[in-house]
């Protein structure tokens, strides 16, 4: 009886299986690689968003005063704005004052005064105790009363013949009269001198004018 010859392996079949295995391994590695990259991008995105949130938080809450007393990084929301009638009523009969700040939309000098001038440490202190700030906006429909008339806040500039912005107008609670008007931007140092002039009630002394006091 003749022995059976061993079956010969097909070399083509073996190489094909090997090739398929290599392809499967390659696909698996590619999937793993893409997953890792996606996870890494998600981590980086989360870190970036967290950093952005932290930066915004610093901008909103950090208050650092420079040598001039100007507070950096403080939004104009820190200014204790009063409503027109509220301010005039609050200081009625008192030796305190209201500062009306007339402004318009898209007014760069107006924005600059709110962010840089009104946020000075000495100015903010005056706002709390002696000079009440009132923001009057040309696009506001808030109702106010003046001399028995009910009108929108946007109508106040016409009442006081104000056409340019920014403009400051000062009101004396003791005499219940408007004292003077300043048109255009005012620097912080000059504004504080005006506050000193008001506190000392120098406007009652004809020998010293506001311009002389500011320039002195």
What's the half-sphere exposure (Cβ side, CA atoms, 13 Å) at 140? 19
Q: What is the mean pLDDT of residues 44-68?
A: 39
How many residues does the structure list for the chain? 216
Cα radius of gyration rounded to whole Å, the chain: 36
What integer pLDDT is reported at residue 87 of this predicted model?
97
Residue 213 pLDDT > 70, yes or no? yes
Least confident range from 3-7, 18-22, 207-211: namely 3-7
pLDDT at 215: 86
* Digit-coded pLDDT (tens) for 7-19: 555 555 556 666 6
- For domain 71-215, the question of CATH label 3.40.30.10 is answered with yes
Q: What pLDDT is attached to residue 42?
A: 52
Whole-angstrom CA distances from 175 to 94, 178, 200, 201, 206 are 8, 9, 15, 11, 17
Q: How far, CA to CA in Å, does 45 sit from each of 49, 50, 52?
A: 6, 9, 11
- Tell me which residue has tokens 């005039």: 88
Residue 178 has pLDDT above 90, yes or no: yes
Residue extents of the structural domains in the chain: 8-61, 71-215
pLDDT digits (tens, 9 = 90+) for 75-116: 467 899 999 999 999 999 999 999 999 999 999 999 999 999
Q: 133 falls in which pLDDT band (50, 70, 90)?
A: very high
Residue 29's pLDDT band, with cuts at 50, 70 and 90, is low
> Which pLDDT belongs to residue 76?
60
């Amino acid at each position: 009886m003749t022995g059976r010859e061993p079956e010969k392996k097909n070399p083509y079949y073996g190489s094909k299986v090997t090739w398929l295995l290599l392809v499967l391994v390659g696909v698996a590695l590619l999937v793993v690689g893409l997953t890792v990259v996606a996870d890494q991008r998600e981590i980086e995105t989360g870190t970036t968003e967290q950093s952005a949130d932290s930066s915004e938080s610093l901008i909103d809450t950090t208050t650092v005063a420079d040598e001039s007393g100007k507070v950096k990084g403080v939004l104009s929301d820190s200014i204790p704005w009063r409503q027109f009638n509220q301010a005039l009523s609050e200081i009625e009969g008192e030796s305190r004052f209201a500062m009306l700040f007339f402004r318009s939309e898209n007014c760069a000098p107006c924005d600059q005064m709110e962010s840089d001038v009104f946020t000075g440490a000495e100015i903010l202190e005056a706002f709390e105790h002696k000079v009440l700030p009132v923001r009057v906006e040309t696009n506001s429909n808030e109702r106010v009363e003046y001399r028995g008339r009910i009108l929108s806040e946007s109508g106040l500039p016409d009442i006081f013949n104000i056409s340019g912005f920014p403009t400051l107008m000062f009101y004396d609670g003791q005499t219940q009269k408007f004292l003077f008007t300043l048109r255009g931007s005012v620097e912080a140092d000059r504004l504080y001198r005006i506050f000193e002039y008001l506190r000392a009630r120098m406007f009652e002394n004809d020998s010293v004018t506001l311009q002389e006091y500011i320039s002195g």
